[in-house]
Amino acid sequence: MEISELSVPDAWVFTPRQHSDSRGTFLEWFRSDALAEVVGHPLALSQANHSVSRSGTLRGVHYAQVPPSQAKYVTCVRGRVLDCVVDIRTGSPTFGAFASVVLDDVDRCGLYVSEGLGHAFMALTDDAAISYLCSTPYTPDREFGIHPLDPDLALPWPPELVPLLSAKDSAAPTLKEAESAGLLPTYRECQALYRELRAAGAAASVGAGGGR
């Protein structure tokens, strides 16, 4: 599995090795050990989501309050989407920046989005199917959003597609509005959470080997 960090820190793309023959294709679309090696801790699986979207459907920019927020490991099992990770952590050196990656059923890459980052995607094909693993359950009163068409973010959605948004995403504030309202996570609290997760992961690893 090839792993590369995006230009927005604390987000990685995992490209699996695919094995094909006359019967079809086999791949490992998620490896806990590979993720833990680069992130510094394993993904605590609490929920698995699946969405199917028509072409032009735009979901996001979504994020959850820190702590505990919600980390995600995302893959496209059918069709093609343009996925964007947005640094919404106030005080971050890359605050307001984004990184984009195409997820599809050809390369079958996985995208890991750390806690505190914003996440959005647009379906580039009809019936684009996304599956993702989440570190915490969905908690409505801790879930927030940024308008995905915020001109200051200038996310690179294909101009030939008409964006189809939910009522909730259409009513979401811009990044500046969310920052002014104190709705955004801070870089400092995100870094503290990452350190806590790494320490817990290290302790669990030591404990698991203690009985040998």
Distance CA 127, CA 52 (A): 6
Instruction: Judge whether residue 209 has pLDDT over 70.
Output: no
Catalytic residue among 41, 62, 119, 147: 62
120 vs 198: CA distance, rounded Å: 26
The pLDDT tens digits of the residues spanning 53-109 come to: 999 999 999 999 999 999 999 999 999 999 999 999 999 999 999 999 999 999 999
Active-site entry in 63, 73, 112, 132: 132
Cα 208 from Cα 212, distance rounded (Å):
9
Other C-beta atoms lying within 10 Å of the C-beta of residue 180: 11
Residue pLDDT, tens place only, 134-172: 999 999 999 999 999 999 999 999 999 999 999 999 999
Please provide the average confidence, as pLDDT, over all residues in the chain: 96
Give the closest residue to 88 by CA, choosing from 155, 153, 138, 149: 153
Q: How far apart are CA 31 and CA 3, in angstroms?
A: 11
Tokens standing for residue 130: 């996304």
Q: What is the CATH number of domain 2-202?
A: 2.60.120.10
Question: Is pLDDT above 80 for 196?
Answer: yes
The candidate with the shortest Cα–Cα distance to 202, out of 25, 39, 12, 1, is: 39
Mean pLDDT along residues 9-27: 97
Q: Max Cα separation, the chain?
A: 59
208 pLDDT above the threshold of 70? no
Distance of CA 104 to CAs 16, 33, 107, 127, 180, Å?
A: 12, 23, 6, 12, 36
| pLDDT of the residue at 204 | 78
Active site residue 132: yes
Cβ atoms within 10 A of the Cβ of 83, count?
24
CA atoms within 13 A on the CB side of 156: 11
Contact 73/103 with Cβ under 8 angstroms?
no
**Residue 52 backbone phi and psi in degrees, to 5:** -125, 130
